[in-house]
Amino acid sequence: MESNQGKLFEQLRKDFPEFVYEDFSYSIVHNELRIYFHFNLGDKYSFKPYHIFHLPANFNSQKLSDSLFRNLIFNLGMIELISYWKAACPPKLTIKAANLSNEQMGFWKKLYFYGLGEFFFLNGIKPGTELMEITCAGSEAYEKASIVSDDPEAVMVPLGGGKDSVVTLELLSRLKDVRPYIMNPRTASTETAARAGFSKEDMIISKRSIDPLLLDLNAKGFLNGHTPFSAMLAFTTLIAAYLNNISEIALSNESSANEPTIPGTSINHQYSKSLEFENDFREYVSTYITDDIKYYSYLRPLNELQIAKIFSTFHQHRTSFRSCNVGSKTDIWCGQCSKCLFTCIILLPFLSQEELGQIFNRDLLNDESLKGLLEQLCGLTDEKPFECVGTIDEVNAAIRYCINKNPKGAKPKLVEHYMKIVGEHSGDEGVYENLLKEFGVHNVPSHETTNILRKAINVN
């Protein structure tokens, strides 16, 4: 039987058969570059979101006249529009801002389809393979171009305020000229940079604004849900790198992001953090934009358990990092979500319960209201939480390590609950050690930088 949201999906597609990417514009106001997009939904609703990039003191305004710069902005609009398109999911997407090849259209169709996998699943929508038809009505067809970087050794590291970007920032700083990049700054992200020794002048800042009309439509009952935010971040980093003469972008996405949220399917909350997206994005950039900006995830060879081990050595970041999305606006750990519980569990083998209590300001492992979330994280339910959390194996390995480490001692209530369901012995005692020895497939460009990772986890 079709769900109510599925029926709404079909009705909205009839009521709003076309979404149009009209155009984009940009201007410099004081020391800021302001980029504006114009989207249209069914000739009834017009959206005008914008991005702001703080310009470096030595910015060369000639860059704004380059075709490459317009190409970068156009492509940012292609990922920005998905937040607005999904309100009604029109079957036709018309691009007036430029012209795309069939191969480019294929890239975007794939990103929209898989990047919205969670959105479709949670809304009870079965979109089918022909989600949309893309038609181009623009006259400008951009070609890729070359860039000469002022500092070929510089690398930009996007910061979100969590433990992963802390590890990338701290390790890469030992070898590279690192510049932190922060979109929509919050205390945790700026504090991460500050505690790693960076000043405000070192930080590259941008801001993204959502058109309030979209929020109004959501309140009126239009479709709403998760979009591939990390894909948005990827395209903003290209512009930030171009404006600041940086040729290398190092993300902090780990191998764990490749695991589907719904086992046995392609539905993955972290799709745009996955190696599949990273590879597609790198190919798209090198084919249609430029060969001279390298995008990769520095932590891709590692899993969440290894990253937690490294992070635990950076004492100065323990009280400032934040991974909780629920508490992001107030810069707190909410203590009630799967992200808080996962972060606590993955750090458990490397920090004491007292140290964990100081981080989260509560004893999460003795909070029995979190039993349901624990079962989801451990793979005891049909789906993992729709959050950026580690794999089922990693969570189980972290908990079992702590059980085996102190088999006769008292256990926190959540660990006792786990033992009642799974048992004291599950026959996977070697999983923990094997996870700490992993070094997976990656796109990190040099042996020097991967050697730092290998030394940090003691892997040859």
Give the per-residue pLDDT at 60: 83
Q: What CA–CA distance (Å, rounded) separates 156 from 158?
A: 7
pLDDT band at 425 (very low <50, low <70, confident <90, very high): low
Provide mean pLDDT across the span 251-268. 94
CA distances to 13, 116, 275, 370, 430 from 82, in Å:
15, 9, 21, 34, 43
| Residue written as token pair 């934040």 | 322
CA contacts within 13 A on the Cβ side of 425: 2
Residue 150 pLDDT exceeds 70: no
Q: How far apart are CA 385 and CA 269, in angstroms?
A: 9
Q: Would you say residue 261 has pLDDT above 90?
A: yes
Query: How many angstroms separate the CA atoms of 303 and 366, rounded?
Result: 26
What is residue 141's predicted lDDT score, i.e. its pLDDT? 85
Query: Is residue 26 a contact partner of residue 33, using CB atoms and an 8 Å limit?
Result: yes
Each as own residue / partner, the long-range contacts of residues 198-202 (CB below 8 Å, 24 or more positions apart, any chain) are: none
What count of Cα atoms within 13 Å lies in the side-chain half-sphere of residue 202? 22
Residue 278 banded pLDDT, cuts 50, 70, 90: very high
Question: Residue 1: what pLDDT?
Answer: 43
Task: Give the domain ranges of the chain.
Answer: 4-297, 332-437
How does strand 50-54 pair with strand 204-209? antiparallel
Is residue 245 within 8 Å of residue 149, measured between CB atoms?
yes
Q: What is the mean pLDDT of the chain?
A: 93
**pLDDT tens, residue by residue, 33-82:** 999 999 999 999 999 999 999 999 888 888 888 899 999 999 999 999 99
Please, are residues 283 and 134 in contact by the beta-carbon 8 Å criterion? no
pTM of this prediction?
Answer: 0.95
pLDDT, tens digit (0-9, with 9 covering 90-100), for 354-406: 999 999 999 999 999 999 999 999 999 999 999 999 999 999 999 999 898 88
Report which secondary-structure segment, H or E, holds 375. helix 371-377
Q: Is the pLDDT of residue 429 over 70?
A: no
Q: What pLDDT, in 10s, does the model give residues 299-343?
A: 999 999 999 999 999 999 999 999 998 988 888 999 999 999 999
CB burial string 253-277: b at 16+ within 10 A, e below: bbbbbbbbbbeeeebbbbbbbbbbb
Q: Is the pLDDT of residue 2 over 60?
A: no
* 3-state SS class at 182: strand
| 108-148 tens-digit pLDDT | 999 999 999 999 999 998 887 678 999 999 888 899 998 87
Least Cα distance to 112 among 273, 272, 343 occurs for: 272
pLDDT (0 to 100) of residue 443: 97
What's the pLDDT band for 459 if we cut at 50, 70, 90?
confident
Give the C-alpha separation, 334 to 352, whole Å.
20
List pLDDT tens digits, range 165-219.
999 999 999 999 999 999 999 999 999 999 999 999 999 999 999 999 999 999 9
Rounded average pLDDT over 241-255 = 95
What does DSSP assign to residue 122? H
Beta pairing partners, 45 = 41
Q: Give the model confidence (pLDDT) of 85-95 as tens digits.
A: 999 999 999 99
391: nearest Cα among 432, 452, 442: 432
- Provide, rounded to the nearest whole percent, the portion of the chain with pLDDT above 70: 97
Q: Give, as one character, the DSSP assignment of residue 76.
A: H
**DSSP letters along 278-343, please?**
HHHHHHHHHHHT-SS-EEEETTTTS-HHHHHHHHTT-GGGTTT----STTTTTTS--SSSHHHHHH
Dig out the tokens for 406 from the structure: 């102190």
For residue 185, the SS3 value is coil
